[in-house]
Amino acid sequence: MNSDNQTPLLAVRQLRVHYRGRRWLPWQPAPTLRAIDDLNFNLHRGEILGVVGESGSGKSTLARVLVGLQGITAGSVRFEGRELKGLHKRDWRALRRDVQLVFQDPLASLNPRHKIGRSIGEPLKALYPEMSREERRDRVREMLEQVGLDGVDAERYPHEFSGGQCQRVAIARALIVRPKLLICDEPVSALDVSVQAQIVNLLRELQRRYDLAILFIAHDLAVVRHISDRVLVMYFGKLMEQADREALFSTPRHPYTRALLAAIPGHEAFRGFRARDGELPSPYAPPVGCLFVSRCPMADEQCTRRPPHYRRYADGAVALCHYASEFGRDGIVDLETAALAMR
Ligand SMILES: Nc1ncnc2c1ncn2[C@@H]1O[C@H](COP(=O)(O)OP(=O)(O)OP(=O)(O)O)[C@@H](O)[C@H]1O
Ligand code: SF4
Ligand SMILES: [Mg+2]
């Protein structure tokens, strides 16, 4: 991680993203779906931040907010100190040089009728129109080699590549403009396990080479473990826990993190923390108390009645649970406001 931690590359404060749901009857108000609710975190230069959570926890919504594909309902998102809320279209264009996105399905993001050299060169053409054709061609070839492909692959079509190779192409296309932040939305979920490891290793290597910051989204803790410096655990739009990678895997504080760990091989110690088969909370009408109450093996009456506050641990981890202190009393403090729930 870069030592300049004064201004985070990305600072997210009290972020809310609400969608308008479908109205069942014409005279009823449209319900509000809380995709992200009061989210706070920092992402530092050169850091890899894992974001993990089950389906519907708001991960892709967060990715879309950060590239301007989704509006912000409330709160603030600052990139290098610059507020993204209400940013003009023209300014988003400039920001595209600095923030790039890689999707889960690489084939869907490549035009099947274009040779991949052309697809990889497109962002350069759009964002650096002054660049000559020859320069662009050289950059594409160089980038193909950086992601472990061959320069001559520029002349091939997407259907001629395997899933893993296509994801390498998508990574090359995102990195060709030398962004400061790469957002990877489940980049390995559609790949075989062996290929997943190769892509994760490639991203790690590229992160070091370019001193990139990466927001790496996955629904599986096992995947984020190999790549992240720090991890955010989300559940139905709320941050449940945030911790450095080692702390999260050795001493997970939140029962939800423990439940996620219990579901992956090699973490038998957390077997007693498996999530119960309770109903999932409704994103339209979240419960009064804790969001995880219906599935938490530790839930009691207090959890049903009162929402928990964030607590911070001596090692910087933060958890949203009434019983956070039972998972390590050392240095624990109640946070006055959720705005402090970040590193
Ligand atoms: N455009 C939209 N309009 C209305 N609701 C949406 C929209 N996009 C997402 N949602 C809802 O917002 C919530 C969060 O969705 P999101 O796609 O961000 O979750 P996710 O964590 O990426 O899930 P997954 O792991 O399945 O990709 C879900 O309840 C989803 O149905
Ligand atoms: S507040 Fe209660 S229900 Fe929520 S995670 Fe903690 S123990 Fe479980
Ligand atoms: Mg998603």
Best of 51, 60, 103 to mutate for ligand 1, by most ligand atoms within 8 A of CB?
60
Instruction: Specify the pLDDT at position 339.
Output: 43
Ligand 1 site residues, Cβ closer than 6 angstroms: 19, 33, 35, 53, 55-61, 219, 283
Per-residue pLDDT tens, the chain, 343 aa: give them.
444 557 899 999 999 999 998 877 887 888 899 999 999 999 999 999 999 999 999 999 999 999 999 999 999 999 999 999 999 888 898 899 999 999 888 888 889 999 999 999 999 999 999 999 999 999 999 999 999 999 999 999 999 999 999 999 999 999 999 999 999 999 998 888 889 999 999 999 999 999 999 999 998 898 899 899 999 999 999 999 999 999 999 999 999 999 999 988 888 888 888 899 989 999 899 999 999 999 999 999 999 999 999 888 888 899 999 987 666 554 455 554 444 555 6
Backbone CA torsion sign across 126, 128, 130, 131 = negative
Query: pTM score, two decimals?
Result: 0.93
Instruction: Compute, in angstroms, the gap from residue 136 CA to the centroid of ligand 1.
Output: 36
- Which pLDDT score, from 0 to 100, does residue 99 have? 97
Q: Closest ligand 2 atom to the C-alpha of 324?
A: 6
pLDDT score of 327: 63
CB–CB of 179/99 below 8 Å?
yes
- Asked if 62 and 36 count as a contact pair (C-beta separation under 8 A), the reply is yes
Pocket of ligand 2, candidates 236, 323, 326, 327: which has the most ligand atoms within 8 Å of its Cβ, to mutate? Answer: 323
For residue 91, what are the CA distances in angstroms to 9, 13, 85, 88, 304?
Answer: 17, 21, 11, 5, 45
Q: Does residue 181 contact residue 99 with C-beta atoms inside 8 Å?
A: yes
Closest atom of ligand 1 relative to the 70 alpha carbon: 1
91 Cα–ligand 1 center, Å: 26
Residue nearest to atom 16 of ligand 1 (CA): 58
Q: Which residues line ligand 2 (CB under 6 A)?
A: 255, 290, 292-293, 296, 298-299, 303, 308, 321-323
Q: Which helix H or strand E contains 116, and what residues bound it?
A: helix 116-127
Give me ligand 3 centre to Cα 185, in Å.
Answer: 7
Structure tokens at 208: 């070091």
Choose among 192, 183, 312, 337: nearest CA to 244: 312
State the distance from the centre of ligand 2 to the C-alpha of 123, rounded, in angstroms: 45
Q: In this structure, which residue's CA is closest to atom 6 in ligand 2? A: 321
Sheet containing 74-79: give its strands across: 32-43, 10-20, 74-79, 82-83
Instruction: Report which bound ligand comes closest to the CA of 37.
Output: 1
- pLDDT number for residue 325: 67
Q: Which atom of ligand 2 is nearest to the CA of 308?
A: 1
Predicted local confidence at residue 334, as pLDDT: 53
Ligand nearest to the backbone CA of 51: 1
The separation between CA 198 and the C-alpha centre of its own chain, rounded to angstroms, equals 19
**Three-state DSSP class for 17?**
strand
Question: Residue whose CA is closest, atom 30 of ligand 1?
Answer: 56
Write the DSSP assignment of 26-91 as a string of letters. TTSPPPEEEEEEEEEEEE-TT-EEEEE--TTSSHHHHHHHHTTSS--SEEEEEETTEE-TT--HHH
